[in-house]
Structure 1
Amino acid sequence: MRRLALSDEILLKIEKPARYIGNEVNSTYKDKTKVDVRFAMCFPDVYEIGMSHLGIQILYDMFNRRDDVWCERVYSPWTDLDAIMREQKIPLFALESQDPIKDFDFLGITIQYEMCYTNILQILDLSQIPWKASDRDESDPIVIGGGPCTYNPEPLAEFFDLFYIGEGETVYEQLLDAYKENKKNGGTRKDYLEKAAEIEGIYVPSFYDVAYKEDGTIASFTPNNSHASATIQKQMVTDVTNTYYPKAPVVPFIKATQDRVVLEIQRGCIRGCRFCQAGMLYRPTRERDVEVLKEYAYEMLKNTGHEEISLSSLSSSDYSQLKELVTYLIEAFKEEGINISLPSLRIDAFSLDVMSKVQDVRKSSLTFAPEAGSQRLRDVINKGLTEEVILEGAGQAFEGGWNKVKLYFMLGLPTETEEDMKEIPRLADKIARRYYEIPKEERNGKCQITTSTSFFIPKPFTPFQWARMYSNKEYIARAAIVKHEFQEQLNRKSLKYNWHDAETTVLEGVLARGDRKIGQVIEEAYRQGCLYDAWSETFCYDKWMKAFENTGIDIEFYNCRQRDAAEIFPWDFIDIGVTKAFLRKEWERALAGEVTPNCRMQCSGCGAAKYKGGVCIESKN
């Protein structure tokens, strides 16, 4: 019988004890004496968020198809259990076996968001694994990082033995086989890291040296080990239809953030928004075959008991077989009362028709993401959305019975002026005005337009990676301009305005574009008590500021200066397919306010189409 790592007494004291007991439907159990490799797959946030992550579900299923590997899961304990574990010296454990993470061969951490970085140190700390890779010995697990934040792994370089750069379905088999071989031959930890460094897409930070100029920028980034390559190539699945996908994903005991079946319909995006990191990282666009998706939908709903299915993509409207897929799902599952979620849709006649069939129009709201208020600034960011299209989409929605609209914008974009900021409330007012143009007897109650602004953060591998950011006070001042302009609008009673926290924006900016020096700030912030920084109730800006002060790291150096064309970025050693020359050209086009057509209209020569011999679907047309 499986013995729980936590006593009944502890489970009764903490919030949501089901986060820690495992044994969920579709979870995998093996005899640990009959496997060669034990892998702890970690998401450094609470269970409910980690269980909503598709990437972990894919890797969990993929690893456990191997007879010689047992992959288990671990998440960050919430603050109540964290305190008890420290007080009683209980080591962090995996959900399936309830065994200590320290006993595993690998600890794989998915790094999805910069504000989870202190949680990574919590995971290592509670697991009783030395924080720094250089302090680990033969008894410690190999700590490996993956996910979107590894495209600039440098702030976390000292804490990881290696990073996996790219999509997980590609070279993990080689990585695990190399580990088995090294273990069989009696090889050391360093022997394994050298073997791993020879596998394409694997980055071992300790095998590289960074030199700095007097001004603090990077002078050079060079391998110090003959097994390490000067450039790390992103790993990419070329055929997303015939690859791993979990037909029986693990079903959480408690309500997860996304409590539904997730059907990934494609990877990549044709749009080319200049602020969007995912749009560049996951190029080229690769579609899953619609017949396979129909089969997955049926199998996953049958195996989970979920009552909702979500179509996952960066831009669902661009999936060429969307109409056929959605029509099938509506018809096939209407008797079961299955809800269909359609994120990332452009609001057009087809989308509205579909949503009217799968949503309660009177309760639901529609989402538009113009990102910028003025057409000038939308051209700068290459949004490809005109005011006419926005108002037409809103008008069709209102005529279809909707009366609630959510609008998302960014403040602090490159070249932004006060006039651009004021255009945000003005556009919201025009949308409300469009509603009140409908005859009163045909309206569905009062109109509600909720506008939210986040603050722009330049991310690696985007055309805006050269851009400057602003201080906390400057961001708040911009939000104040927008708020005041909302109060001047004719339909202000129908308009609501929210803005994102500026303090987390400043930190996220440093962590996103930081170099290895930032690792000491993360470590000091954790020592100061920073944890769950993505959560407003636990985030403490003052502790982070103390960490910067104690380490002598200047936030303004990382955030408040525009980079020049010759600067070496901390992530320049990674090849994602999209070339730096293309990104620079797009930066210059942005400053000139020039629009670049999307990939389906015209190939812009970014490099992704020909990356590693591949051909993206758009370049065939």
Structure 2
Amino acid sequence: MIGLEGVLPKVSRPGRYTGGEWNSVRKDWDALEVRVALAYPDLYEIGMSNLGLAILYDLVNRQPQLLAERVYAPWSDMEREMREAGIPLFSLESRRPLRDFDILGFSLGYELTYTNVLNMLDLAQIPVFSHQRNEKHPLVIAGGGCALNPEPMADFFDLFVIGEGEEVFLELLELFRRWKSEGGAGREELLRRAAAIPGIYVPSFYRVNYHPDGTGAQIVSQVPEAKLPVVRRLIENLMPSLTKPIVPYIEAVHDRAAVEIQRGCTRGCRFCQAGVIYRPLRERSQEEVIEAVGELLKNCGYDEVSLVSLSTSDYAGIEELVDTLVRRYRKANLRVSLPSLRMDSFSVELADSLGGQKKAGLTFAPEAGSERLRRAINKNVSDDDLLKTAETALSRGWTNLKLYFMVGLPTETFEDVEGIVNFVNKVRQVGRKYAKGRLHIRASASAFIPKAHTPFQWVAQDTEENIVAKYEVLRSGLRKSGVQFSWQDPKTSLLEAILSRGDRRLGKVIHRAWQLGCTFDAWSERFNYEIWRQALADCGLDPSFYAHRERPLTELLPWSHIHSGVSTAFLRREYQRAIRGKETADCRHGRCTVCGFHTQYEGCQIKYDDLLATSRDRLRLRNQA
């Protein structure tokens, strides 16, 4: 165990590095067959709020022959002390160096944490490039939302887990256990076996060729085990809810219990990557949710639970569920948190049903300032409905409203941006009727970032000049009415756009930026775009090629060999409907939209069969007429 007595008194928030929290797991190191370190490339407070990593930690540690421990990115003061003292990066549970583990698995949820991955590997005294590692080093792997475009980080990872990890991760660990029991000789043999597992992507087994203009020409599999495409793994039914998570000693970002009530979303917002890569929709039963909440209260001592999903108010029977939770756990003073509410009157009524909880505020995301633009992005809500929702909230005593918008959306005009100002001002006028001097409205805007595997994966990001001009329209217009306005640095959005749709050549840019001192790029006090600009220039790459270029619908995209489950044909149709300003109905309540899951998921197959039957009936009636 690494001693930290001389280090911790010198750093801020030493509780980030001590471990030993309630419900953390310690096992006999020498009695185990496979040892995994689960890494989150950001601060402890951020990583401890990540439900996916907590699920894998619990899942692995339930297996008697396996071990999972945790590690997070140390802040700059701790990094400095570790380097000066020669302390390698270590796990929290046993304080063993990461280089002693069999597997080091990173969760990639945000592109601006990529330099932290390199920094953590370097602190762990593990070579950052995969080709520099051998059988003596841990297998370095990654999963999470960003793994759906793995190419910018392909140089650094031995393999990626594409999709939902609950089943495939255990399959990978079992394969590793067998390989290790056979003597553990030959890293390439291990990777070949891993590549044969559905959902595993080994980037070194693929070659990417480029046209002279820099666009992709061909993605070639170089070994038989390397599949084309690599299909995202998903689980048919949600596994039992996590009910014994680790309780941190210091406050986490989301310092509450959490139950995932459903996974996936059928709303079909065209800018939303999560709405694609977490399809299809799967719900947890009310009985299981209610039981899980009770177990969490007993095991963790929390008095607040979050009902987690991409669209909580869409959960079937959400009113009944909330009412049951409030009544059943009233003596425990349970507070229920409802994230991701739609902006409609039902959501306000749902929030009101929480009983005696303090009305801290409501958060909604209208996204755009005009009905026309909301139709283009498939955010199907009218101006009248938005204002009605605001009035319902204000009339029921909600005096704090936070509204999220995006600028730079495809087909957006300055008239659409001015529509944001007009809408917020109308909300404020309504608020004066009910809240008078107690009304507080905050509006926040960020630049639209095109993402892989969405209908907008082909579009150009708006230029920094245009984004700044649009922010100024909002700032000046909202300041006059006393609305608090905040916005995201457009350079941060530019870097995210570069990395989110980047190709394999960006690996050298990420490495160069890290060499020049970039870490914690997601933190405004650490972000330095000028260093990234220099790194891009040093590597001979143009940021506009990645961010500001409209792609032809026929272009081979860097992630074309990764299949999310949603077909490219569907994404093209949705892109074309966006340009025409056409909405697509929610398939949960309407007909199948033939997104691709009708060939993979039973619930979608049933809806697709209904669509075919209806089409055949219409055709027969037409022929009879």
The normalised TM-score by structure 2 is 0.95
Give the match for residue 620 of structure 2. Answer: none
8 Å Cα contact 2:594/2:608 also seen in 1: no
Greater shift, 317-326 or 54-63, is seen at 317-326
Match for residue 31 of structure 2 among 30, 34, 41:
34
Letter of the 1:33 partner, please give it. Answer: D
Q: Which residue of 1 aligns with 2:540?
A: 552
Give the Cα separation in 1 of the matches to 2:527 and 2:346: 42
Counterpart secondary structure, 1:563: coil
For residue 601 of structure 1, report the CA deviation from its aligned partner.
Answer: 2.0
Whole-angstrom distance in 2 between the partners of 1:352 and 1:474: 35
1:89-113 deviations in whole A, cap 9, x for unaligned? 2110000110000010000000010
Instruction: Tell me what 1:203 maps to.
Output: 201
8 Å CA contact 1:285–1:617 kept in 2: the answer is: no
Which of 487, 498, 510 is the matching residue for 1:522? Answer: 510
Change (3 A) 1:311 1:163: same
Counterpart in the other structure of 2:522: 534
1:364 maps to 360
How far apart are 1:552 and its partner, in Å?
1.3
Deviation at 1:547, TM superposition (A): 0.9
- 1:251 paired residue number: 247
Matched residue of 2:456: which SS?
Answer: helix
Structure 2 equivalent of residue 279 of structure 1: 275
Residue identity in the other structure for 1:47: Y
- Where does residue 170 of structure 1 map in the other structure? 167
- Residue in structure 2 matched with residue 405 of structure 1 by the alignment: 401
**Pair 304,153 (structure 1): closer, same or farther in 2 beyond 3 Å:** same
Partner of 2:89: 92
TM-score (norm 1): 0.95
Aligned to 1:586: 574
User: Deviation string for 1:182-239 (max 9, x for gaps)?
Assistant: 1122231111100000000000000000000011000000111121111111110111
| Mapping of residues 202-351 of structure 1, within 5 Å | 202-240=200-238, 243-351=239-347
Aligned mates of 2:606, 2:82 — CA distance in 1: 51
Pairwise CA distance, 1:347: 4.3
Give per-residue Cα distances to partners, 1:329-382, cap 9 Å, x unaligned: 101111111111001122445433442353778751211211000111111100
Shift in CA distance, 312/618, structure 1 to aligned 2, threshold 3 Å: farther
Whether the 8 Å CA contact 2:152–2:504 is kept in 1: the answer is yes
Q: Which among 433, 436, 447 is matched to residue 439 of structure 2?
A: 447
The 1:251/1:190 distance shift into structure 2, 3 A limit, reads: same
Q: Does 1:421 align with 2:417?
A: yes
2:120 alignment partner, one of 112, 120, 123: 123
Kept in 1, the 8 Å contact 2:280–2:601? The answer is no
Q: Which among 55, 66, 69 is matched to residue 66 of structure 2? A: 69
| Structure 2: gaps (5+ residues) | 611-625
The question of 1:469 aligning with 2:465 is answered: no
What's the offset of the Cα at 1:9? 2.1
2:458 aligned partner, one-letter code:
W
Corresponding residue SS for 2:37 = strand
By how many angstroms is 1:173 displaced? 2.0
What letter is aligned with 1:524?
Answer: R
Displacement after TM superposition at 1:565 (Å): 1.2
Once residues 615 and 353 of structure 1 are traced to their aligned partners in structure 2, the CA distance between those partners, rounded to angstroms, is: 31
Amino acid at match of 1:401: G
SS at match of 2:592: coil
Contact 1:144 / 1:160 at 8 angstroms: preserved in 2? Answer: yes
- Maintained 8 Å contact 2:343/2:366: no
Q: Where does the alignment leave 5 or more consecutive residues of structure 1 unmatched? A: none
CA-CA distance at 1:615 after TM superposition: 3.0
Aligned match of 1:16: 13
Which of the numbers 186, 189, 194 marks the counterpart of 1:188? 186
Contact 1:458–1:469, Cα closer than 8 Å, also in 2 = yes
> In 2, distance between residues paired with 1:554 and 1:470?
16
Write the distance in 1 (CA, Å) between the matches of 2:608 and 2:75: 47
Give the corresponding residue for 2:154.
Answer: 157
Alpha-carbon offset, residue 612 of structure 1:
5.4
Q: How does 1:133-152 map to 2 (within 5 A)?
A: 133-152=130-149
AA aligned to 2:604 is V
Question: 1:31, 1:498 → 2: CA distance?
Answer: 50
Number of residue pairs the alignment of both structures matches: 608
Q: State the partner residue of 1:107.
A: 104
CA distance in 2 between partners of 1:616 and 1:255 (Å): 44
The answer as to whether partners of 1:315 and 1:344 remain within 8 angstroms in 2 is yes
Specify the SS of the correspondent of 1:450.
Answer: strand
Which among 132, 135, 148 is matched to residue 129 of structure 2? 132
Question: How far apart in 2 are the matches of 1:619 and 1:81?
Answer: 55
Question: Partner residue of 2:596?
Answer: 607
Pairwise CA distance, 1:435: 2.1
Pairing 1:478-493 to 2, within 5 Å after superposition? 478-487=470-479, 492-493=481-482
